Amino acid sequence: MSVDLLSLTPDAAHTALAEWLMQRGEPLYRVRQVAPRLWQRPVARWADASDLPAPLRAALDEAFPLKRLALRTEQLSSDGTQKFLWTLDDGEAIESVLIPEGKRRTLCISSQSGCALGCVFCATGRMGFRRNLSAGEIAGQVRELVLRDPVLKPTNVVFMGMGEPLLNWDAVDTTLTILNQPEGLGIGARHITVSTVGILPNLAKFARRSEQFRLAVSLHAPTPALRRELMPIEKKYSLPELMEALKQFRRRVTLEYVLIGGKNDSLDAADQLARLAQPLEALVNLLPLHPGGAPDLTPSPRADMLAFERRLKHHGVEAVLRRSRGLDISAACGQLRVEVEAEEHAHIE
């Protein structure tokens, strides 16, 4: 039975390889030749590892086949944003978005196919939950870019694509290690952000990790009543419980807040949000609603967004109004998959 080395931590993969090579009677130095081909100098298939003998490559292919994500479609925005739709082994599809900004290249990755949470402003939430991704499928979104061109390797990774990372904690936990360890992809912990609505039991597990990974919390409303309207998860993990849980983090928390016209963008809402952010000394990321994510909701007018940002700053809260990226492509989370599947369905009919 074959083993997916790409879904193991680098240490566990190293151990599995060492045992297998020893059983084959291979010299010990082979581990140092084989292991870097997983993440540090990845190969698309073992046949490409030309520094290894052909019989060993064939045996590796049988024991440890390297699972790939197949590129289904790709879009490039005029602002440089690239969106990738990947097909998995079972035909499910996930998205990644690469956002260049100066020397920084941020890759937004998916942790689930679909999402069970049903947030009203999110295209992924509307498609429902399909399945969890393996660690190899999550980290593989980074690996595929490196295979395409090492220059595309992201400097930053954010778990802000499809799915709720903390509902797939075991795989995300392993992925964080793969992304961060030098024997993996070697991306600094402070350059890796997990975004969550606040699944409290697994939030506590994330808080216990010793590395300085960053946490972003999808808040989007300053009161329980409004949050329940926008985010059904509020019924299970309430806003007061969530704000209390965030105190366990030794590092700064970012609060994510999508501004929706007439819903959560009043100055009163800004005052209430400031009261939540102040005790945590949190950074507030203000995000314009991407029109592709929720066709029945209206983005806040720019003047209102700027007034909201000013009001937060007036309260001493550090707030940043982000600009929407990829407006000329299907860059909203889940949007490209929904559109491609609708198009393919129309062709079938």
Instruction: Cite the active site residues.
Output: 95, 333
Rounded to 5°, the CA angle 220-225-228 comes to 60
Beta-ladder partners of 22: none
Exposure b/e, 235-252, CB count within 10 A at least 16 = b: eebbbeebbebbeebeee
Alpha helices in the chain (DSSP H): 10-23, 29-34, 54-63, 123-127, 135-148, 169-180, 200-208, 224-230, 239-245, 267-280, 302-314, 335-348
Q: Are 196 and 218 in contact (CB under 8 A)?
A: yes
79 vs 326: CA distance, rounded Å = 7
115, HSE (Cβ side, Cα atoms, 13 Å)? 31
| Cα dihedral 208/214/217/220 (nearest 10) | 170
SS3 320: strand
Listing DSSP states for 77-108 in one string gives -TTS-EEEEEE-TTS-EEEEEEEEETTEEEEE
Task: Return the structure tokens found at 135.
Answer: 């660690």
C-beta separation of 55 from 61 below 8 A: no
Grouping H, G, I as helix, E, B as strand and the rest as coil, residue 4 is coil
Classify 11 as helix, strand or coil: helix
List, as one string, the DSSP characters of 30-58. HHHHHGGGTTTS--SSGGG-TTS-HHHHH
